[in-house]
Structures are given as C-alpha cells and as structure tokens.
C-alpha cells in the first residue's frame, strides 16, 4: 500500500533544508524528566527521519554547497529561483545563476560574443538582485554559457564544471499534446526536453519546479519524485 501524500511531501521538504523536525505529539508525549533521556530521544528522532529520507531516495542537503539555478527571462525561471531561495538555499551556500544561450546561426557579425554575453548578463541581473535581497549573506554569481549544442547537455556539463551540489530548473505546465509527444520521443529513444534531460543526466540532484496557478504552492519533480505538491 502506498504512503499518504503528506508522508512523501514531508520527506521532500526536509531533504532540501538538510534538517528534520520533531513532531509536537512526540514532544508532548515525552514522559521522562531527564535531560539526558530527552536528548537521546531527539537524536533517535533525527536518525529515524534521516533513514526515512534515504529510503525515499532523497539526498540530504549539506551546508556549503553550490546551488545552481538555470535562469532566463521567463516567469518559470523566476518562480524556480524564488522556490530555491525559500526552500533550498542556506546561508552557508553559494548561488550560481546559469544562463545558457544558443550560438546564433546564419547571422552577421554585427554583435560579438562578448557583446552577447554582456546583454545576457543584463537580462538576468534582476534575478541576482532578488537573491541579494532575499539572501544578503549568500554569495551570488551569474554564469553565461553560449553553446551550439543542445541546452540540456550544456547545462549538465556546466553543472559538473562548476561543482554544483543542487541543480534547480523552472518547468512549464505540460499540455496533453506535449505529454503524448514526450512519451513517443521517450519510447523512440529520443529523450524528452531540456528539463527531463537534466534530471536524468545530472551528477548532482536536479530539481524541476513549477508554480501552481490556482491553489498555490509548487510541483516538484526529481529523478525519483514526480509532481509532488509543496505548499509555498
């Protein structure tokens, strides 16, 4: 029998923060008046929670990581960054905002690569300002990569190069037509889109984030979890 939805939601939420919380009922039910006993009880709870996270296939977040967020000018990108700042990034972490652009083909040489990179930095700089506002103690940098290959491959390669501990990507709402096309491409061995490629090929934990429009909260997808709903 499957676990209740709340069981898995709690596992995903605690894994991104790298911590665990004791339930109120366990605190109220503690009958021991000994400080040593209470300490041992809390330690056992943390150990048990960590074991549950491992069973769920969710990697515990460690302090001092590099959190890489793939950004562009879309609302999906901003939503994913806002989720990461609230649920994933800790004060000891570093944030890398990765912006991947395609090398122009069949165009003139009116604009150099340096000029294109400068324009790309300007486009995503408001997101860096958002990071500094929400997490003033966390170092934030912008990395722009121009590539002629598939974006998914470029993102995975750059996350490895930068030593990212977590990779966060925004995700659009899937239409019924898109889901049919994606299933056909998967069966044919052609793979899915950029997000799916990163989730299944990244060395670090890759997290796709989509903001729900009606009820609020976010839908989270990883290699082991698909469309789990987390409240904002």
Pairing of the two strands 139-147 and 94-102:
parallel
Q: Which pLDDT value is given to residue 111?
A: 76
Q: Which pLDDT value is given to residue 130?
A: 96
Per the model's pLDDT, the better-predicted residue between 61 and 77 turns out to be 77
Domain boundaries in the chain?
Answer: 63-104+111-230
- Please say whether the beta carbons of 48 and 151 come within 8 A: no
Report whether pLDDT(147) > 60: yes
- Please say whether the beta carbons of 57 and 224 come within 8 A: yes
Q: Which pLDDT value is given to residue 59?
A: 38
Q: Which pLDDT value is given to residue 26?
A: 43
In a 10 Å sphere around its CB, with 0-12 CB exposed, 13-18 middle and 19+ buried, how is residue 88 labelled?
Answer: buried
Summary mean pLDDT of the chain: 75
**How distant, in Å, are the alpha carbons of 58, 163, 201 from that of 225?**
9, 23, 15
Where does the chain have alpha helices with state H? 5-17, 24-28, 35-55, 75-87, 113-134, 151-162, 176-187, 194-201
Q: What phi, psi does 140 have (nearest 5°)?
A: -125, 135
Q: For residue range 161-180, list pLDDT tens digits in order.
A: 999 999 999 988 765 554 55
CATH superfamily of 63-104+111-230: HUPs (3.40.50.620)
- Please say whether the beta carbons of 88 and 67 come within 8 A: yes
Report whether pLDDT(13) > 80: no
Q: For residue range 110-140, list pLDDT tens digits in order.
A: 678 888 899 999 999 999 999 999 999 999 9
pTM, two decimals, is: 0.69
Q: Which pLDDT value is given to residue 201?
A: 95
Asked which of 10-24, 59-73, 75-89, 117-131 is least confident by mean pLDDT, the reply is: 10-24
Q: Which pLDDT value is given to residue 63?
A: 59
Per the model's pLDDT, the better-predicted residue between 226 and 231 turns out to be 226
Angle at 73 between CA 72 and CA 79, to 5 degrees: 80
């Amino acid at each position: 029998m499957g676990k209740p939805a709340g069981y898995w939601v709690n596992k995903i939420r605690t894994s991104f923060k790298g911590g665990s919380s004791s339930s109120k009922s366990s605190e109220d039910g503690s009958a021991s008046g000994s400080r040593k006993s209470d300490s041992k009880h809390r330690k056992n709870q943390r150990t048990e929670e960590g074991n549950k996270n491992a069973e769920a296939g969710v990697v515990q977040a460690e302090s001092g990581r590099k959190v890489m967020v793939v950004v562009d000018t879309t609302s999906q990108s901003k939503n994913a960054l806002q989720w990461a700042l609230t649920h994933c990034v800790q004060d000891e972490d570093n944030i890398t905002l990765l912006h991947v652009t395609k090398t122009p083909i069949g165009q003139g040489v009116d604009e150099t690569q340096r000029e294109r990179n400068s324009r790309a930095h300007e486009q995503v700089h408001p997101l860096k300002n958002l990071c500094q506002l929400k997490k003033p103690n966390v170092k934030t940098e912008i990395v722009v990569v121009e590539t002629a290959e598939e974006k998914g491959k470029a993102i995975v390669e750059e996350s490895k190069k930068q030593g990212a501990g977590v990779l966060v990507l925004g995700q659009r709402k899937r239409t019924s037509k898109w889901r049919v096309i994606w299933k056909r491409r998967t069966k044919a061995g052609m793979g899915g889109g950029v997000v799916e490629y990163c989730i299944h090929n990244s060395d670090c934990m890759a997290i796709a984030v989509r903001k729900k429009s009606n009820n609020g909260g976010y839908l989270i997808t990883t290699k082991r979890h698909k469309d789990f709903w987390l409240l904002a």
